[in-house]
Chain A
Amino acid sequence: MAVKEYIRERFFPHMWCPGCGHGIVLNGLVRAVEELAINKNELVIVSGIGCSSRISGYVDFHSLHTVHGRALAFATGVKLSKPKLNVIVPMGDGDALSIGGNHFIHAARRNINITALVMNNRTYGMTGGQYSPMSGVGVKATTAPYSTIDNAFDCVELARAAGASFVARTTVYHVNQLSELIKKAIVHDGFSVVEIFSQCPTYFGRKNKQGGAVDMLKIFKEKTVLIGSDKKKDNPALMERGIFVEKELPEYCKAYDEVIARARKA
Protein backbone atom coordinates (compact mmCIF):
# COMPACT_ATOMS: atom_id res chain seq x y z
CA MET A 1 0.00 0.00 0.00
CA ALA A 2 1.50 3.26 -1.10
CA VAL A 3 -0.89 5.53 0.78
CA LYS A 4 1.99 7.65 1.98
CA GLU A 5 2.82 8.70 -1.55
CA TYR A 6 -0.42 10.64 -1.60
CA ILE A 7 -0.23 12.43 1.72
CA ARG A 8 1.91 15.19 3.14
CA GLU A 9 3.49 13.23 5.96
CA ARG A 10 5.05 16.26 7.60
CA PHE A 11 1.63 17.43 8.78
CA PHE A 12 0.83 14.18 10.57
CA PRO A 13 -0.47 13.35 13.08
CA HIS A 14 -3.43 15.35 11.74
CA MET A 15 -5.49 17.85 13.70
CA TRP A 16 -8.71 15.83 13.95
CA CYS A 17 -9.88 14.48 17.31
CA PRO A 18 -9.30 10.83 18.23
CA GLY A 19 -11.91 8.68 16.49
CA CYS A 20 -13.07 11.39 14.08
CA GLY A 21 -14.70 9.91 11.00
CA HIS A 22 -13.05 12.48 8.74
CA GLY A 23 -9.75 10.61 9.05
CA ILE A 24 -11.48 7.53 7.65
CA VAL A 25 -12.74 9.60 4.70
CA LEU A 26 -9.18 10.79 4.09
CA ASN A 27 -8.06 7.17 4.29
CA GLY A 28 -10.70 6.08 1.75
CA LEU A 29 -10.00 9.01 -0.55
CA VAL A 30 -6.28 8.35 -0.69
CA ARG A 31 -6.95 4.65 -1.29
CA ALA A 32 -9.34 5.50 -4.15
CA VAL A 33 -6.87 7.85 -5.79
CA GLU A 34 -4.08 5.33 -5.46
CA GLU A 35 -6.16 2.57 -7.02
CA LEU A 36 -7.11 4.85 -9.91
CA ALA A 37 -3.42 5.71 -10.30
CA ILE A 38 -4.22 9.36 -11.06
CA ASN A 39 -1.25 11.60 -11.76
CA LYS A 40 -0.97 13.80 -8.68
CA ASN A 41 -0.10 16.79 -10.83
CA GLU A 42 -3.54 16.53 -12.41
CA LEU A 43 -5.41 16.39 -9.13
CA VAL A 44 -6.79 19.46 -7.41
CA ILE A 45 -8.51 19.31 -4.05
CA VAL A 46 -10.62 22.33 -3.16
CA SER A 47 -12.14 22.71 0.28
CA GLY A 48 -13.96 25.32 2.31
CA ILE A 49 -13.90 25.85 6.06
CA GLY A 50 -14.56 23.45 8.87
CA CYS A 51 -13.03 20.26 10.23
CA SER A 52 -13.74 18.44 6.96
CA SER A 53 -12.01 21.11 4.90
CA ARG A 54 -8.67 20.53 6.56
CA ILE A 55 -8.45 17.37 4.48
CA SER A 56 -7.01 19.41 1.61
CA GLY A 57 -3.83 20.19 3.53
CA TYR A 58 -3.09 16.53 4.14
CA VAL A 59 -3.08 15.25 0.58
CA ASP A 60 -0.20 15.79 -1.80
CA PHE A 61 -2.32 17.23 -4.62
CA HIS A 62 -2.68 20.81 -5.73
CA SER A 63 -4.63 22.05 -2.75
CA LEU A 64 -6.91 25.04 -2.41
CA HIS A 65 -8.27 25.74 1.06
CA THR A 66 -10.84 28.48 0.57
CA VAL A 67 -13.59 30.28 2.47
CA HIS A 68 -16.63 28.83 4.19
CA GLY A 69 -19.22 27.34 1.85
CA ARG A 70 -17.73 28.47 -1.44
CA ALA A 71 -15.42 25.60 -2.30
CA LEU A 72 -17.59 24.50 -5.23
CA ALA A 73 -17.51 28.00 -6.70
CA PHE A 74 -13.71 28.10 -6.52
CA ALA A 75 -13.64 24.57 -7.93
CA THR A 76 -15.86 25.61 -10.83
CA GLY A 77 -13.28 28.24 -11.75
CA VAL A 78 -10.45 25.72 -11.59
CA LYS A 79 -12.30 23.10 -13.61
CA LEU A 80 -13.71 25.33 -16.35
CA SER A 81 -10.40 27.11 -16.72
CA LYS A 82 -8.44 23.86 -17.04
CA PRO A 83 -10.84 20.96 -17.70
CA LYS A 84 -8.15 18.29 -17.86
CA LEU A 85 -7.68 18.56 -14.09
CA ASN A 86 -9.49 16.18 -11.74
CA VAL A 87 -11.20 18.31 -9.14
CA ILE A 88 -12.30 16.86 -5.81
CA VAL A 89 -14.21 18.92 -3.26
CA PRO A 90 -14.58 17.55 0.27
CA MET A 91 -17.10 19.50 2.32
CA GLY A 92 -18.74 19.31 5.68
CA ASP A 93 -22.52 19.22 5.92
CA GLY A 94 -22.71 22.84 7.02
CA ASP A 95 -20.18 23.90 4.41
CA ALA A 96 -21.95 22.08 1.59
CA LEU A 97 -25.61 22.43 2.47
CA SER A 98 -26.02 25.47 4.69
CA ILE A 99 -23.74 28.38 3.77
CA GLY A 100 -22.78 26.62 0.53
CA GLY A 101 -26.22 25.25 -0.33
CA ASN A 102 -26.72 27.55 -3.28
CA HIS A 103 -23.36 26.70 -4.82
CA PHE A 104 -24.10 23.02 -4.25
CA ILE A 105 -27.33 23.01 -6.22
CA HIS A 106 -25.92 25.17 -9.00
CA ALA A 107 -22.81 23.04 -9.47
CA ALA A 108 -25.17 20.06 -9.69
CA ARG A 109 -27.41 21.91 -12.16
CA ARG A 110 -24.47 22.65 -14.45
CA ASN A 111 -23.30 19.05 -14.23
CA ILE A 112 -19.70 20.20 -14.17
CA ASN A 113 -17.24 17.35 -13.75
CA ILE A 114 -16.37 17.85 -10.09
CA THR A 115 -16.46 15.25 -7.33
CA ALA A 116 -18.20 16.53 -4.21
CA LEU A 117 -17.72 14.57 -1.00
CA VAL A 118 -20.20 15.63 1.66
CA MET A 119 -18.73 14.54 4.98
CA ASN A 120 -21.89 14.58 7.04
CA ASN A 121 -21.35 14.48 10.79
CA ARG A 122 -24.51 16.46 11.58
CA THR A 123 -22.68 19.18 13.46
CA TYR A 124 -20.33 22.15 13.24
CA GLY A 125 -17.28 20.60 14.86
CA MET A 126 -14.74 23.35 14.29
CA THR A 127 -16.79 25.94 16.16
CA GLY A 128 -17.73 23.61 18.98
CA GLY A 129 -20.75 21.49 18.17
CA GLN A 130 -23.59 23.74 17.00
CA TYR A 131 -26.49 22.18 15.10
CA SER A 132 -26.21 21.91 11.34
CA PRO A 133 -28.77 21.65 8.53
CA MET A 134 -28.20 17.89 8.72
CA SER A 135 -28.69 17.50 12.48
CA GLY A 136 -32.40 16.84 12.13
CA VAL A 137 -35.16 17.26 14.69
CA GLY A 138 -34.64 16.33 18.33
CA VAL A 139 -30.88 16.69 18.46
CA LYS A 140 -28.87 18.37 21.21
CA ALA A 141 -26.20 20.84 20.21
CA THR A 142 -24.37 23.75 21.81
CA THR A 143 -26.87 26.07 20.09
CA ALA A 144 -29.77 23.70 20.76
CA PRO A 145 -29.73 23.07 24.50
CA TYR A 146 -33.50 22.33 24.34
CA SER A 147 -32.98 20.16 21.23
CA THR A 148 -33.51 21.06 17.60
CA ILE A 149 -36.77 21.74 15.76
CA ASP A 150 -35.20 22.16 12.30
CA ASN A 151 -35.74 19.47 9.72
CA ALA A 152 -32.68 18.05 7.96
CA PHE A 153 -32.09 17.92 4.23
CA ASP A 154 -31.95 14.65 2.39
CA CYS A 155 -28.63 15.30 0.66
CA VAL A 156 -29.19 12.56 -1.90
CA GLU A 157 -32.62 13.82 -2.93
CA LEU A 158 -31.36 17.41 -3.04
CA ALA A 159 -28.47 16.47 -5.32
CA ARG A 160 -30.73 14.39 -7.52
CA ALA A 161 -33.31 17.15 -7.87
CA ALA A 162 -30.63 19.72 -8.61
CA GLY A 163 -29.34 17.67 -11.51
CA ALA A 164 -26.24 15.83 -10.30
CA SER A 165 -25.57 12.93 -12.63
CA PHE A 166 -23.94 10.70 -9.99
CA VAL A 167 -25.31 10.54 -6.47
CA ALA A 168 -24.30 8.03 -3.84
CA ARG A 169 -24.27 7.56 -0.09
CA THR A 170 -22.25 5.52 2.34
CA THR A 171 -20.74 5.72 5.80
CA VAL A 172 -17.24 5.57 7.22
CA TYR A 173 -18.12 2.21 8.74
CA HIS A 174 -18.46 0.75 5.23
CA VAL A 175 -14.88 1.43 4.21
CA ASN A 176 -14.79 -0.82 1.16
CA GLN A 177 -17.91 0.77 -0.26
CA LEU A 178 -16.48 4.17 0.68
CA SER A 179 -13.41 3.94 -1.53
CA GLU A 180 -15.35 2.18 -4.30
CA LEU A 181 -17.93 4.98 -4.43
CA ILE A 182 -15.25 7.68 -4.34
CA LYS A 183 -13.51 5.93 -7.25
CA LYS A 184 -16.73 5.78 -9.25
CA ALA A 185 -17.49 9.40 -8.45
CA ILE A 186 -14.06 10.55 -9.62
CA VAL A 187 -14.29 8.56 -12.84
CA HIS A 188 -17.85 9.72 -13.54
CA ASP A 189 -18.03 12.41 -16.23
CA GLY A 190 -20.30 14.97 -14.61
CA PHE A 191 -21.12 16.40 -11.21
CA SER A 192 -20.90 13.61 -8.67
CA VAL A 193 -21.93 13.65 -5.04
CA VAL A 194 -21.03 11.12 -2.39
CA GLU A 195 -22.65 11.75 0.95
CA ILE A 196 -20.58 10.08 3.68
CA PHE A 197 -21.93 9.72 7.20
CA SER A 198 -19.02 10.48 9.47
CA GLN A 199 -18.91 10.50 13.25
CA CYS A 200 -18.05 13.39 15.54
CA PRO A 201 -17.62 11.66 18.88
CA THR A 202 -16.36 14.86 20.50
CA TYR A 203 -19.52 16.92 20.03
CA PHE A 204 -22.40 15.13 18.35
CA GLY A 205 -21.70 11.80 20.05
CA ARG A 206 -21.24 13.24 23.50
CA LYS A 207 -24.16 15.69 23.35
CA ASN A 208 -26.53 13.05 22.05
CA LYS A 209 -25.35 10.19 24.23
CA GLN A 210 -24.26 8.07 21.30
CA GLY A 211 -21.09 6.91 23.04
CA GLY A 212 -17.62 6.97 21.55
CA ALA A 213 -16.36 6.57 17.99
CA VAL A 214 -16.81 2.80 18.01
CA ASP A 215 -20.41 3.07 19.22
CA MET A 216 -21.17 5.64 16.56
CA LEU A 217 -19.70 3.41 13.86
CA LYS A 218 -21.98 0.61 15.05
CA ILE A 219 -24.95 2.94 14.68
CA PHE A 220 -23.94 3.51 11.03
CA LYS A 221 -23.85 -0.26 10.63
CA GLU A 222 -27.23 -0.83 12.25
CA LYS A 223 -29.14 2.14 10.84
CA THR A 224 -28.20 1.74 7.17
CA VAL A 225 -28.77 -0.91 4.48
CA LEU A 226 -27.74 -1.40 0.90
CA ILE A 227 -30.17 -0.02 -1.65
CA GLY A 228 -32.82 -2.60 -2.45
CA SER A 229 -32.39 -4.58 0.75
CA ASP A 230 -35.51 -6.32 2.10
CA LYS A 231 -34.65 -4.96 5.53
CA LYS A 232 -35.77 -1.54 4.41
CA LYS A 233 -39.28 -2.89 3.78
CA ASP A 234 -39.50 -4.10 7.36
CA ASN A 235 -37.91 -1.00 8.78
CA PRO A 236 -38.49 2.12 6.65
CA ALA A 237 -36.38 4.22 9.02
CA LEU A 238 -33.20 2.56 7.72
CA MET A 239 -31.07 4.81 5.49
CA GLU A 240 -30.02 3.32 2.19
CA ARG A 241 -26.44 3.16 1.00
CA GLY A 242 -25.24 2.79 -2.56
CA ILE A 243 -25.60 4.57 -5.89
CA PHE A 244 -28.87 6.44 -6.30
CA VAL A 245 -28.19 8.23 -9.57
CA GLU A 246 -25.74 7.32 -12.30
CA LYS A 247 -26.55 8.69 -15.72
CA GLU A 248 -24.88 10.22 -18.72
CA LEU A 249 -25.72 13.86 -19.18
CA PRO A 250 -23.88 16.59 -21.10
CA GLU A 251 -20.91 17.69 -19.01
CA TYR A 252 -20.47 21.46 -18.58
CA CYS A 253 -16.89 21.92 -19.81
CA LYS A 254 -17.57 19.78 -22.85
CA ALA A 255 -20.76 21.70 -23.55
CA TYR A 256 -18.74 24.91 -23.29
CA ASP A 257 -16.45 23.65 -26.04
CA GLU A 258 -19.52 23.67 -28.25
CA VAL A 259 -20.19 27.29 -27.29
CA ILE A 260 -16.68 28.12 -28.49
CA ALA A 261 -17.35 26.24 -31.72
CA ARG A 262 -20.62 28.15 -32.27
CA ALA A 263 -18.96 31.49 -31.48
CA ARG A 264 -16.22 30.84 -33.98
CA LYS A 265 -18.68 29.86 -36.69
CA ALA A 266 -20.79 32.98 -36.13
Chain B
Amino acid sequence: MSKKKLKDHLINRDWCKGCGICVAMCPKDVLVLDGDEKAMASHPEKCIACRQCEKMCPDLAIEVITEDAHGKEE
Protein backbone atom coordinates (compact mmCIF):
# COMPACT_ATOMS: atom_id res chain seq x y z
CA MET B 1 0.00 0.00 0.00
CA SER B 2 1.42 3.31 -1.03
CA LYS B 3 1.63 6.16 1.43
CA LYS B 4 -1.17 8.73 1.34
CA LYS B 5 -0.28 12.31 0.59
CA LEU B 6 -2.29 15.39 1.48
CA LYS B 7 -4.12 17.06 -1.33
CA ASP B 8 -6.32 19.48 0.54
CA HIS B 9 -8.08 20.32 3.81
CA LEU B 10 -11.73 20.97 3.09
CA ILE B 11 -12.97 23.11 5.96
CA ASN B 12 -16.64 24.00 6.07
CA ARG B 13 -16.55 27.49 7.53
CA ASP B 14 -20.33 27.54 7.99
CA TRP B 15 -20.18 24.54 10.27
CA CYS B 16 -16.96 25.30 12.15
CA LYS B 17 -17.67 26.79 15.58
CA GLY B 18 -14.06 27.61 16.30
CA CYS B 19 -13.59 25.37 19.34
CA GLY B 20 -9.91 24.92 18.55
CA ILE B 21 -9.81 21.17 19.08
CA CYS B 22 -8.33 20.55 15.65
CA VAL B 23 -5.65 23.17 16.24
CA ALA B 24 -4.65 21.69 19.58
CA MET B 25 -4.79 18.04 18.51
CA CYS B 26 -2.85 18.36 15.26
CA PRO B 27 0.53 16.72 15.89
CA LYS B 28 2.26 18.92 13.29
CA ASP B 29 0.75 22.37 13.99
CA VAL B 30 -0.86 22.54 10.56
CA LEU B 31 -4.04 24.33 11.63
CA VAL B 32 -4.83 27.66 13.24
CA LEU B 33 -7.96 29.66 14.01
CA ASP B 34 -8.20 32.64 11.73
CA GLY B 35 -9.48 36.13 12.55
CA ASP B 36 -13.10 34.89 12.29
CA GLU B 37 -12.36 32.09 14.78
CA LYS B 38 -12.62 29.48 12.03
CA ALA B 39 -10.16 26.65 11.47
CA MET B 40 -7.67 27.18 8.67
CA ALA B 41 -4.70 25.17 7.37
CA SER B 42 -1.83 27.63 7.72
CA HIS B 43 0.93 25.04 7.16
CA PRO B 44 -0.51 22.35 4.86
CA GLU B 45 2.98 21.33 3.82
CA LYS B 46 3.57 19.87 7.29
CA CYS B 47 0.41 17.68 7.18
CA ILE B 48 1.02 13.94 7.50
CA ALA B 49 -2.64 13.13 6.67
CA CYS B 50 -3.24 11.43 10.03
CA ARG B 51 -6.87 12.70 9.92
CA GLN B 52 -6.86 13.44 13.65
CA CYS B 53 -8.47 16.83 12.93
CA GLU B 54 -11.14 15.27 10.75
CA LYS B 55 -12.06 12.63 13.28
CA MET B 56 -11.99 14.94 16.29
CA CYS B 57 -13.91 17.81 14.80
CA PRO B 58 -17.18 18.03 16.78
CA ASP B 59 -18.71 20.05 13.97
CA LEU B 60 -17.93 17.52 11.21
CA ALA B 61 -16.43 20.53 9.44
CA ILE B 62 -13.06 19.16 8.32
CA GLU B 63 -12.35 16.73 5.54
CA VAL B 64 -8.78 15.74 4.72
CA ILE B 65 -8.41 14.93 1.03
CA THR B 66 -5.46 12.72 0.18
CA GLU B 67 -4.06 11.18 -2.97
CA ASP B 68 -1.86 8.17 -3.51
CA ALA B 69 1.52 8.20 -5.27
CA HIS B 70 -0.22 8.18 -8.65
CA GLY B 71 -2.20 11.29 -7.86
CA LYS B 72 -5.46 9.39 -7.42
CA GLU B 73 -7.80 11.10 -5.02
CA GLU B 74 -8.93 9.16 -1.99
Interface residues of B (CB under 8 A from A): 12, 14-21, 24-25, 52, 54-61, 63-64
Chain B residue nearest to A1 (CB atoms) is B63
Main secondary structure of the interface of B (DSSP, over half): loop
A108 CB-CB contact with B under 8 Å: no
B55 touches A19 (CB 8 A): no
Looking at the assembled complex, report how far the CB atom of A90 sits from the nearest CB atom of chain B, in whole angstroms.
14
A16 B58 Cβ-Cβ under 8 A: yes
Q: How far is the CA of A18 from the CA of B61 in the complex (A)?
A: 12
Interchain CA distance A155-B37 in the complex, whole Å: 37
A18-74 residues at the B interface, CB under 8 angstroms: 18-24, 26-28, 30-31
Q: Which residues of A contact B21 (CB under 8 A)?
A: 19, 24, 213-214, 217
Contact at B14–A214, with CB atoms within 8 Å? no
Contact-residue size bin, chain A (C-beta under 8 Å from the other chain): 20 to 34
A13 at the interface (CB under 8 A from B): yes
A19 to B25, CA, bound (A): 13
* Complex Cα–Cα for A175 and B64 (A): 16
Which single member of B12, B18, B24, B56 contacts A175 (CB below 8 Å)?
B56
A-B contacts, 8 of them at CB < 8 A, read A16-B58, A19-B20, A19-B58, A23-B60, A27-B58, A28-B55, A213-B21, A217-B24
